[in-house]
Amino acid sequence: MSLELKQHLKMTQQLVMTPQLQQAIKLLQLSRMELVDLIRTEMTENPMLEGADENDEQAVPDGASPAEQAEIEAKPEHKEAEKAEEVKGEEGANEIDWDQYLDQYQLQGHTAPSNRGLSDEELPGYEATLTKKTDLVDHLVWQLRLSNFTPDEEQVAMLIIGNLDDDGYFKMPAVEGEADEATSRDPLVRVAFESGQGIEVAERVLRKVQTFDPIGVAARDLRECLLIQVVAINADTPEIVAIIERHLKHLESKNYQAIAKDLKVPIEEVVKAVKVISRLEPKPGRAYSGEEAQYITPDVYVHKMGDKYVTVLNDDGLSKLRISGMYRAALKNGEAGKAKEYIQEKLRSAVWLIRSIHQRQRTIYKVTESIVKFQRDFLDKGIAHLKPLILRDVAEDIGMHESTVSRVTTNKYVHTPQGIYELKFFFNSAIQKTGGDEIASEAVKNHIRQIVAAEDPKHPHSDQKIVELLKGQNIEIARRTVAKYREVLGILPSSKRKKYF
């Protein structure tokens, strides 16, 4: 067998991911806030880009798209370049002072309209405009400073406070290869070891910290957390203490009969004790660990005007970009010198960014228009009338690839007469109804939510009962599907939804 080299000609087609195409795909996937950040960054890094003032008069045809505007502005014969030439002639400047211009460009800030008349000295310091939500550690340290702790005790207390989780529980991460099982099981043992103060001092300090607000903080488990709270409110009756210490599992499953049998008390006494326990806070640090609310700004609005729905893009907050007139004039007049290649590179980058942003907005508009066409009943009547819809339906309708539709519907939100929804919300699998019709899976979930909301809390519906109620609405689904949808909706099983009081 011999080896030899041969040349062959072969014609193939392949998609080349140019930098421009990569940029367009990247912009398509960005959320609105990410796009705002990217535009801000590009305006900082690319001197060819500047924000367009809506009051500026430009020789651009009415209705021109950002891409068309970029192409017009990028041409040397654009009128604004001629204006720049006239200004240059009046000032008698034969060359542009690039260093001075770049220095001024870097120093120019983009302030809010209400602040334009104020100098930097008149504005408050930046630190004066900042604030943050008080977290659990800050709240506890503040109380620690006001308490009568010795320096040694304060050291132990800081170790305890520094090892609280988001729920306010005292836990320390396990150390790999830790030989002492007691040390790994009880975080207080490790605190005593690290502080060098001994277990007695650590226990005393822990009890003091556990009296801080919120009550129940620094507990090592749920039992300790609840016991601290019932003692604090003078509700530590024998029945309540016994339930917390021995019957948390039965309490979770609402098996009150088993609790009453073990404690040898009437079930009414158990229910009375459970009422007290139900008012306790199982996660005392929750009020300080929650994330700030995230407010959604829609990318597009759908308004009803008469019998029609009108789609309008939301451009508020998005800087309108244009090419810097000064640099265009410099290129036209041959004044760029050695910087010409750099300016041309930045010019191409700027034009492609403007085109990509326009393409992104145009794609969002077309996808939303198509969704409106498919989901007209939802817009008119609500979620119960949401229709089954897949990416392919919209992709074929607007002549784009499914992957493009998938990218443009992620993290993009639309404001409709029915509320604000992510564009992905409108894509649902189909559930068969009696008679051959189909209903969207999201609509079925809404039916389940309404059924549970209307049930008798003392006699909640089982999954099988929900199946039967849905069947009465011509929706036939299996019990396991109801269970799956119920879990997705965060609805507990009937045994845990039952209320005794």
Q: Which of 221, 249, 278 is the last residue of a domain?
A: 278
Is 17 part of a structural domain of the chain? Answer: no
pLDDT at 101 over 50: no
* Cβ partners under 8 Å of residue 24, min gap 6: 355, 356, 359, 360
Q: Is the dihedral of CA 424, 425, 426, 427 positive or negative?
A: positive
Q: What is the Cα–Cα distance from 81 to 88, expressed in whole angstroms? A: 11
Is 70 part of a structural domain of the chain? Answer: no
pLDDT band with cut points at 50, 70 and 90 for residue 75: very low
- Mean pLDDT value of segment 254-271: 91
CB burial of residue 131 (10 Å; 0-12, 13-18, 19+): exposed
pLDDT at 118 over 70: no
Is 110 part of a structural domain of the chain? Answer: no
Please write the tens of the pLDDT for every residue from 430-457: 787 766 677 888 888 988 999 999 998 8
Q: What is the Cα–Cα distance from 459 to 274, expressed in whole angstroms? A: 18
Which residue range is the domain that position 324 belongs to? 27-48+294-428
pLDDT band with cut points at 50, 70 and 90 for residue 143: very high
Q: What is the Cα–Cα distance from 151 to 30, expressed in whole angstroms? A: 52
Is 97 part of a structural domain of the chain? Answer: no
pLDDT band with cut points at 50, 70 and 90 for residue 2: low
pLDDT at 241 over 80: yes
The residue to which tokens 């459970």 are assigned: 274
The residue type of 390 is: I
pLDDT at 277 over 90: yes
User: What are φ and ψ of residue 238, in 5° steps?
Assistant: -55, -40
Q: Is the dihedral of CA 379, 383, 386, 391 positive or negative?
A: positive
Residues 270, 298: one domain?
A: no
| Residue 290 structure tokens | 């929650």
Residues 329, 211: one domain?
A: no
Q: Which of 278, 302, 323 is the last residue of a domain?
A: 278
Give the gyration radius of the chain's Cα atoms.
33
pLDDT at 301 over 90: yes
Give me the DSSP letters along 362-392: HHHHHHHHHHHHHTHHHHHH-GGGPPPB-HH
Residues 230, 350: one domain?
A: no
Total tally of structural domains belonging to the chain? 3
Q: What is the Cα–Cα distance from 49 to 350, expressed in whole angstroms? A: 6
Q: What is the Cα–Cα distance from 186 to 197, expressed in whole angstroms? A: 16
Q: Which of 428, 454, 474 is the last residue of a domain?
A: 428
Residues 250, 166: one domain?
A: yes
Q: What is the Cα–Cα distance from 501 to 497, expressed in whole angstroms? A: 12
Is 57 part of a structural domain of the chain? Answer: no
Is 410 part of a structural domain of the chain? Answer: yes
